[in-house]
Amino acid sequence: MRKTMGYEPSTEEKAARAKVSSLAASLTIVLIVAALGCRDQSASNDSNAPSEKAPANVSVSTTSADDSEAESPETVAALQAEELAQAHRLLETFPSNPRVLNALGHIYNNQGDRTQAVSYWRQVVALEPGNAAAYDAMAKVAFLKEENDEAARLWQRVLEIAPGAPGVHHQLAMALMGAGRLAEAAEALAREIEINPKASLSHTMLGEVHRMLEDYDRAIESFQAAVQIDPNATKACYGLSVVYRAIGEKEQSQRWMTEFRRLKAADVQVDHNRRDAYDDVGVTRKTIAETFTEMGRIYARHNDLENAERLWLRAAHLDTKQLLCRQDLGQLYQRTNRIDRAIAMCEQLAQLEPDNADYLVNAGVFHARLKQYDAAIDALVGANALDPKRPANYRTLARLYLETGRDADQAVAHAETAVRLQPNAASFFVLGAARQRQGDRAAALAAYRRAAELEPGNRRYQTACRNLQGQTR
């Protein structure tokens, strides 16, 4: 699925994380920093797209005349100001909508105003007491503020709502460790590992909890489990070195310290490369594109298609590789019968995801609706090359060949492939039509009869049989 509006850690937040849980050893601190190093990907429970189903994943030209903001600001401050302005415009229209309030919470959190962010999330849970994502977001803020007991309380509320949610027990354990509640942290990590046995970081953190509790055998067991899952688990190697030193096994301690240093050097280089490649404006553009995509969906859900289109176009301009806004624009253009734009979007997305046959299938269908048969056939042939096991594509190709008076032998070939892949009434009916065009009336009648047998209530199939029988007498 898709990533909704989560938070993006600011420089200030990243620095704050380094101070978390001062009671723990250095490894614990490293674990906590690593575990919060990703965006919240569960920020919104409700990510509904427009209600009418549309062709899969289509795109739009971001230089459309409808894009009234063709030139985006190129500073983080300007982009964030634009984001806030659009969010408050949405809030004025839908003042008690939980999705809007949730969006405002994430926007303020991304921009560093955590107090304001929490105030919006509290409104969300007042309206929707079962909104686990809002509790999760507030827990993250509390954790960053080193309010560990409050963070634990909020994550426990998340688990009351969604007991099996992956990752939440791990986050709860971080807060419990920060609060010095190590036994509870061990229980939370054990539960996380039950949910996700391959969670190397959770095994590592459990090993650290056992180390802090001086349960060295269990610590070694957990650290080794982490390394078995991920041989590059740097922190688990460090933990093994520390534990073996504590129990007097110097040779083993040195062995794991050597491995730790080797992996750490590689990690440092990766971090260095990541910092060199970091583009603050680029990251902000992508984040705001996600925000605008979600806002557009809120407008679309209330049938305000003009504002939905405006925000999706803006999102597409901000992030030239974002798929979701283009998918939503595709739904909109199909819904409003702007098929030429739908075709252009299919073609763009086919470039972004060249291995996805859906884009070419949709382009083919749209071209056929506009009677652009050459382009339709080319698109469907391309789709079959990517995914040759779709019987509907072959039936469509056979019909296109028949409707345009093209090579009957090609129509038969496509229809026979459809029958082989899916021997249903529709496939046999198309095969009958292709055989009839080819001049093989006996084979055509056999195919029509088979279609009628499979769907005896279909008058079209019965009529085709009777008509051909009458011609052969």
What confidence score (pLDDT) does residue 208 get? 97
Q: What is the dihedral of CA 232, 235, 237, 242, to 10 degrees?
A: 180
What confidence score (pLDDT) does residue 473 get? 54
Could you tell me the two tokens for 168? Answer: 């939440």
Residue 29 has pLDDT above 70, yes or no: no
CATH number at residue 175: 1.25.40.10
Residue 6 has pLDDT above 60, yes or no: no
What confidence score (pLDDT) does residue 43 get? 35
Question: CA of 384: how far to CAs of 70, 390, 419, in Å?
Answer: 36, 7, 15
Sign (positive or negative) of CA dihedral 132, 135, 141, 146 = negative
**What mean pLDDT do residues 334-345 have?**
93
Banded model confidence at residue 469, pLDDT cuts 50, 70, 90: confident
Quick check: 88 and 108 in contact, CB under 8 A? Answer: no
The string of pLDDT tens digits covering residues 340-355 is: 999 998 898 999 999 9
What confidence score (pLDDT) does residue 61 get? 39
Structural domains in the chain (count): 1
Question: CA of 186: how far to CAs of 36, 219, 405, 413, in Å?
Answer: 18, 11, 72, 63
Question: CA of 443: how far to CAs of 338, 416, 448, in Å?
Answer: 41, 12, 9
The string of pLDDT tens digits covering residues 218-266 is: 999 999 999 999 999 999 999 999 999 999 999 999 999 999 999 988 8
Residue 267 has pLDDT above 80, yes or no: no
Question: Does residue 433 fall inside a structural domain?
Answer: no
Is residue 224 classed exposed, middle or buried when 0-12, 13-18 and 19+ CB atoms within 10 A define those classes?
middle
Question: Does residue 142 fall inside a structural domain?
Answer: yes
- Written in H, E and C, the secondary structure of 289-336 is HHHHHHHHHHHHHCCCHHHHHHHHHHHHHHCCCCCHHHHHHHHHHHHC
The string of pLDDT tens digits covering residues 371-426 is: 999 999 999 999 999 999 999 999 999 999 998 988 899 999 999 999 999 999 99
Residue 62 has pLDDT above 90, yes or no: no
Average pLDDT over all residues of the chain: 84
Question: Does residue 75 fall inside a structural domain?
Answer: yes
Question: Does residue 116 fall inside a structural domain?
Answer: yes
Banded model confidence at residue 74, pLDDT cuts 50, 70, 90: confident
Quick check: 56 and 362 in contact, CB under 8 A? Answer: yes
Question: Does residue 367 fall inside a structural domain?
Answer: no
Could you tell me the residue range of the domain that residue 216 belongs to? 11-280
Q: Look up residue 71 and give its amino acid.
A: E
**What mean pLDDT do residues 110-138 have?**
96
What confidence score (pLDDT) does residue 470 get? 73
Question: CA of 334: how far to CAs of 47, 295, 397, in Å?
Answer: 20, 20, 21
What confidence score (pLDDT) does residue 278 get? 53
Question: Does residue 337 fall inside a structural domain?
Answer: no
Question: Does residue 248 fall inside a structural domain?
Answer: yes
Question: Does residue 85 fall inside a structural domain?
Answer: yes
pTM: 0.69
Instruction: Report, in angstroms and rounded to the nearest whole number, the Rg of the chain calculated over CA atoms.
Output: 29
**What mean pLDDT do residues 304-310 have?**
96
